[in-house]
Amino acid sequence: MSITQQYLLDTYRARLHGEPDPPAPGRHDRDLMRELRDYRRLRAVLAERPARGRLRHLLERWLRLRAL
């Protein structure tokens, strides 16, 4: 069963029972990704690491070590 089919079945059941419709699939994905990014930045700050640009810094350090 696909996500769309499951959503339609859940909507049908909710309407039969007089309950509100469930949220559409993918509706909150952007908010979830934003919260995850903010959480990772917070964890980095609490661990006393740079909160932004960590990947770029790691790649630059790796390239410098390879050049030696």
Q: pLDDT, tens digit, for every residue of 15-61?
A: 999 999 998 888 888 999 999 999 998 998 899 887 777 777 778 88
pTM for the model: 0.51
Determine the pLDDT at residue 22: 92
Domain range enclosing 59 = 3-67
Whole-number Å distance between alpha carbons of 52 and 38 = 11
Q: Give the pLDDT confidence score for residue 65 in this predicted structure.
A: 83
The number of folded domains in the chain is 1
Could you write out the DSSP letters of every residue in the chain?
Answer: --HHHHHHHHHHHHHHTTPPPPPPTTTTHHHHHHHHHHHHHHHHHHTTS-SS-HHHHHHHHHHHHHH-
* Nearby residues of 44 by Cβ (< 8 Å), 6 or more positions away: 50, 51, 54
Give the number of residues written for the chain: 68
Residue 46's pLDDT is: 92
Residue 68's pLDDT band, with cuts at 50, 70 and 90, is confident
